[in-house]
Amino acid sequence: MRPAGKQPLQSLYFDYPLFEFRQPPELHGGDMQHPVVIAGAGPVGLTAALALAQQGVASVVVEKKDTVNDGSRAICVSRHSFETLQQLGAVAAFLDKALGWTRGRCYYRDQLIHRLEMPHSEDERFLPMYNIQQQYIEQFLIDKTADYPDLIELRWQSEVSELKNSADGVSLGINTPEGSYSLRGNYLLAADGARSTVRELLGLRLQGDNLPGNYVIADVRMAHEFPTERRSFFESSGNPDATVLVHRQPDNIWRVDWQILPGDDPDDAVRENNVRERVAAILAMIGHEGEWELEWWSIYTANTLCLDNYRHGRVLFIGDSGHIVPIFGVRGLNNGIADAVNAAWKLACVLKRLAPASLLDSYSPERRGATIDVLRNAGKSSRFMTPPTRGYALMRKAVLELALTQEFTRPFADPRQVQPYNYEDSPLTTPEAGAGEFTSGPAPGAPLHNCRLDEDDYLLDHIGHSFTVLYFSIEARPSSELAALFAQLYQLDPACCILRITGAADQVNEDDVLVDASGRISRAYDAIAGTVYLVRPDRYVAGRWKSANPEEILAALRRALGGSKP
C-alpha cells in the first residue's frame, strides 16, 4: 500500500520501468516447441533463465505484469546467493547497490541482550548478508538477460491461463493484451510465485500451516545514521507489546516491521494514520528525530507451506510457487534462487542429452529437503517472533528476562539466518570411501567454501559453469592415467572445468591452474598431492578423494548426472 494521493507505482526512490508487449510468432500462427518455458519473471524465474542461458539452453519467460515487483518485499540476500550471482556473471550491479552486513542487535526492554555475529572470515569474498530491495534484484537480473539475446526471451504482459502437461511436453494458454495464443515447451519451470496459476491448473495444493500472528511491514525514507545491522526489539518502551524489527536498505530507505497483537484488527492496523502513528513511535524509540517519509507498507502472515512434490511430469516448481516460508531468517528468495540453479543445471544436462531424464527425479528430494529444513528453523523463529499461544508467549518472556543477566538463554534471540542446505543424502552424492580420511573441507553434499588466494582473487572466481574438477598436484602434466580420466570426463560433460591447484608459483600463466603458494586452499580442503574434488554446477561437492581414483571419479560423475549407483 502507498500513502493516500500516490499512484500505485509512485515510489520515493525507484523508477518503475514499463515493459511493452511484443507480439510473439505464436500469435500469428507460428508453432514451435521451446526447450524451456518459465512462468513468472520474479527473481526466481529470472535466475533460472540466466542459469539455463549460461549452459546454452534457450528459454521463454512469460510474465503477466509490465514491470518489476511493486513495493518492497525481499531485502536480505545471503552470501550463498551472492556467490550464485557471481557465477552467473551478474554480481557487480548488486555489489554496487546493496548494503552488506554481518551483525545484529537484539534488545529486550531497551537493553541489549544479544549481539548477532554471522560467520565471516578473510577467505570470503562476500559478506554474510546484503540488503537490497527486490525491485533492484529483479531489475539487475533483467538487465543481465540482455547479454543473451538469442537464449532468453522475456514476454511481458503475458499471463499463463491454461496448461496441458503431457508425456512429451507442455502446452500453455497465454493471455495477452492482443489476444491469446498457445505456447509449447519441452519443460515448464513454474516460477509464478505464492499464488501460482500453474499450481492451481495442475490441481495441486500447498500443505502445512498458516501460523497465527501478523506483522505490518513499512518502508520509510529518512536520513538516519546507524550501521547496516539487523535490530530487533522485544517489549521496548516505545512499543511495549509488539516485537519490532529495523533494517537499513539502500537509498536511505529503512524497513520497519512490527507485530500485530492477537486482539488487534488487521484492517485497522494497516490504516494509514495507524501506520504513521506506529512508525513515529518506533522511530522515536530508535532515536530518530528528523524528518521521515512513508514509502510503502503491507501486512504479512507467517506461513510454512509446501508442495508434496516439486516435480510433476514436465513441470518443475521453483521458488514461492512450491513453498512459502516465514520471512524471519530470510529464506524465501534465497531458497528460491537455490531452487532455480538446481533445476537449471539438471534441465540443461537433460536437454543437452548429457543425462537421462531421470536426473530430474533428484530435484524434488534435494530442494524439498531444503524446504523442510527451512520450515523447521523458520517455524521455530516464527513461534518466537509471533508466539502462537499463551504458553509460547510466556516462555518467550521467561527466556528474554533471563537473557538480561544470563548467557544461556541469549541464543533464543538469534534469528537463525538462512544457511545453504546440505545434499549429503542425495542420490547424486557419492559418499566418501574411507571414513575419516578428510578432517576438514567441504564433505560430499556440502557447498564449496571460498578461499582467498590474493588481493581480489578467490577460489570461487575460478569455478566453471558446469561441473568442476579441483585436483591438487604440483606436476605440470597429469599422469597418463589422469589424462585418460580427464578425456573421459570431457566426454561426459564437454563443458566441465578441470582446475589444477598447485603450490608451485612458476606455473602462473596457464588459466586452468590456480597457484596456491601459501597452501591455503590445500589446508582448507585438507588436500595432498593427488586429492580430487568433483563439484556440481551449483557448487556442491558431488564427491571427493584423498588420492585420485579414476574409476571412482568417473562413476561419481555418472552418478551426479543421474546414472545408476555404482
Ligand X SMILES: Cc1cc2nc3c(=O)[nH]c(=O)nc-3n(C[C@H](O)[C@H](O)[C@H](O)COP(=O)(O)OP(=O)(O)OC[C@H]3O[C@@H](n4cnc5c(N)ncnc54)[C@H](O)[C@@H]3O)c2cc1C
| Site of interaction with another protein (CB under 8 A) | 207-209, 211, 304, 306, 371-372, 375-376, 379, 388-391, 394-395, 397-399, 401-402, 406, 408-409
Question: For residues 81 and 141, is the Cβ–Cβ distance under 8 A?
Answer: no
What are the cell numbers at 467?
561441473
Nearest distance from residue 368's CB to another protein, in Å? 9
How near is the Cβ of 307 to another protein at its closest, in Å? 11
- Closest listed residue to residue 326, CA positions, set 301, 302, 345: 302
Residues 6 or more apart whose Cβ sits within 8 Å of residue 564? none
250 vs 379, beta carbon nearer another protein: 379
Query: Could you tell me the smallest distance in angstroms from the CB atom of residue 232 to another protein?
Result: 20
Q: Residues binding ligand X: what is the number (CB under 6 A)?
A: 35
Site string for ligand X, 124-143 (x = CB under 6 A): ----------x---------
Of 64 and 312, nearer to ligand X (C-beta) is: 64
Nearer to ligand X (CB atom), residue 218 or residue 460: 218
Residue in the structure block whose three cell numbers are 486482539: 263
With binding defined as CB under 6 A, does residue 191 bind ligand X? yes
Interaction mask 65-84, ligand X, x per CB under 6 A: x---x---xxxx--------
Closer of 421 and 525 to another protein (Cβ): 421
Q: Which partner from the list another protein, ligand X, none does 376 bind, CB cut-off 5 to 8 Å by kind? A: another protein
Q: Which helix (H) or strand (E) holds 417?
A: none
Among 37, 48, 63, 553, binds ligand X (CB under 6 A): 63
CA distance 436 to 418: 28
Give the residue with the Cβ less far from another protein, 10 or 406: 406
Query: Which of ligand X, another protein, none does residue 32 bind to, with CB < 5 to 8 Å depending on kind?
Result: none
CA–CA distance, 72 with 400 (Å, rounded to integer): 30
Q: Which of residues 294-353 bind ligand X (CB under 6 A)?
A: 300, 319-320, 327, 330-334, 336
Residue with the shortest CB distance to ligand X: 42
Residues between 18 and 47 with contacts to ligand X, criterion CB under 6 A: 39-45
| DSSP states of 20-63 | PP---GGGGT---EEEEEEE--SHHHHHHHHHHHHTT--EEEE-
Q: Answer with the entry of another protein, ligand X, none that 55 interacts with (C-beta below 5 to 8 A by kind).
A: none
Closest CA to 347 of 135, 191, 503, 132: 191
**How would you classify the pairing of strands 59-62 and 152-155?**
parallel
397 binds, among ligand X, another protein, none (CB under 5 to 8 A by kind): another protein
In contact, 298 and 271? CB cutoff 8 Å: no
Between the alpha carbon of residue 141 and those of residues 12, 60, 244, 422, the distances in Å are 22, 15, 31, 26
Residues in CB range of 315: below 8 A, 6 or more apart:
163, 165, 170, 187, 188, 189, 190, 198, 202
Q: Which residues contact 92 (CB under 8 A, 6 or more apart)?
A: none
Give the footprint of ligand X on this chain (CB under 6 A): 39-45, 62-65, 69, 73-76, 134, 159-160, 191-194, 197, 217, 300, 319-320, 327, 330-334, 336
